[in-house]
Amino acid sequence: MIGDLGAADATALAALVAAGEVSPSELLDAALAAVEARNPALNAVVLVQEGVARKAIAEGLPHGPFRGVPFLIKDLGAEAKDFPSHNGSRLFANMVYGQDSAIFARMKATGVVTFGRTTSPEGGVGAATEAAVYGGPTRSPWNLQHTPGGSSGGAGAAVAAGIVSFAHGSDGGGSVRIPASSCGLFGFKPTRARLPDGPYAGEGWAGMAIDGFLTRSVRDTAVMLDACAGPDLGAPYVAPPLGRGHAAAISRPPRRLRVAICDTTFTGEPIHPEVAEAVRAAGRLLENLGHVVEPSRPTADVPMMMRAWTDIVGVGSALSIRSKLGDRAPTADEVEGVGRGAWTYAQTLHPTRYLQAVGEIHAFGRQMAGFFQPESGAGPDILLSATLAEPPATVGRFSHDTEDYVGYRVGPNGIFAYSPFCAVFNASGQPAASVPLGWSASGLPIGVHLAAAYGQDEDLIALCAEIERAAPWAGRRAPMAG
């Protein structure tokens, strides 16, 4: 088992270390061997820093809940002084940092042995991970012709392939939940501001982006969330306080919940029949567990939200490019097509559009809160849907070659048509999760999406844990994982 990190979750591996049955160095050896054997086909793990990891072990690891467990951080954000970053872009290749970000410091304090980064698309924009800076696309260990998703696609591929038992990711429009769905993993997006952004940022994408984790088990996510939750110094706003915490919440099933089930998009369009059936099967499972499941979907203005999201992220992409190039337009050897398109598009927006778009996102959040009605208790506790509108896409379908940034996002064959559910909850700030409950006829994973009212992270993760106990998924593994 030591040579196969995909056979156990991080909690189990940490228990082996604590019992003296395996050493952190042996686990690191196994992870590096898995990188050597599997990563050439996947292109998921980059910027390996074996020396940093060996030094951390030699100097003594923190006695946290994951002491000695190998770990990878996403190559986007998670700034760390010992881990240079490309940030998914040739323009930002080999960035170095003078201090650790708050999120990395908190992850490090759990005792993990971080030894490298995982691939992301340029700018974190997209549902696939195919950045030019890495020399080619990142592929799914379930089927190399398919994408592991994005933007935390490298993290999803590395965990699903058994290179590590869990990994860091981030989610600004589904970037943890999309890879979770595509890779047969658990992915949880907390309530807005539950995790720290500083000191390198005050907020990501007007508060829509937040860190997260790709895990094989709910408990690994719960414990890591507890270790990292809370504002950092000077945070502009904070999430509602937790009650007992995520780990305590999963120790027992939640109260019986009212679940709204939607087997279409939130605007009523049909989705792939295999995906729709996975949603209905999840509804039947929840009914069998005693929850009340009834068809319903929100009436919030999703098209408005999608356009506002597109404009905010377009401006954010242009601002990032401008930080390196000033007012000069990026060239093709510096920035990929979608990034260049975002830069060009941002120049066309009225100077007041950014704040207008932020206002629309806030209005959308209030519309979604009206659907859940948490104060009156009149609405559902949980909204059940698909994570993606179809099974995982093939490599190349969401290539960044196009300069039509708007079409790439909101066009009829764009990202939002493929992933119409996830960004809804980045915009509203609500907690949401993808649970690996479905499988396509061709053997690809299909995620089922669950969302709760703002601040109700504990109810949501407790439900995810109850589902995991009722329909365990850990035994179903990607072919590459053995």
As annotated, the active-site residues are: 74, 151, 175
d(CA 100, CA 266): 39
Q: What's 238's DSSP letter?
A: -
Give residues with Cβ within 8 angstroms of 61, minimum separation 6.
24, 67, 68, 111, 113
Please give the structure tokens belonging to residue 278. Answer: 């996975």
Give residues with Cβ within 8 angstroms of 133, minimum separation 6.
86, 88, 89, 90, 93, 122
52: alpha, beta or left, given left = phi > 0 and alpha = psi -120 to 50? Answer: alpha
For the beta sheet containing 258-261, the strands, ordered from the edge strand earlier in sequence to the opposite edge, are 166-171, 210-215, 186-189, 432-439, 445-452, 382-386, 258-261, 292-295
d(CA 463, CA 454): 15
Among 213, 220, 384, CA closest to 292 = 384
d(CA 413, CA 47): 33
Q: Outline where DSSP puts E strands in 327-418.
A: 382-386
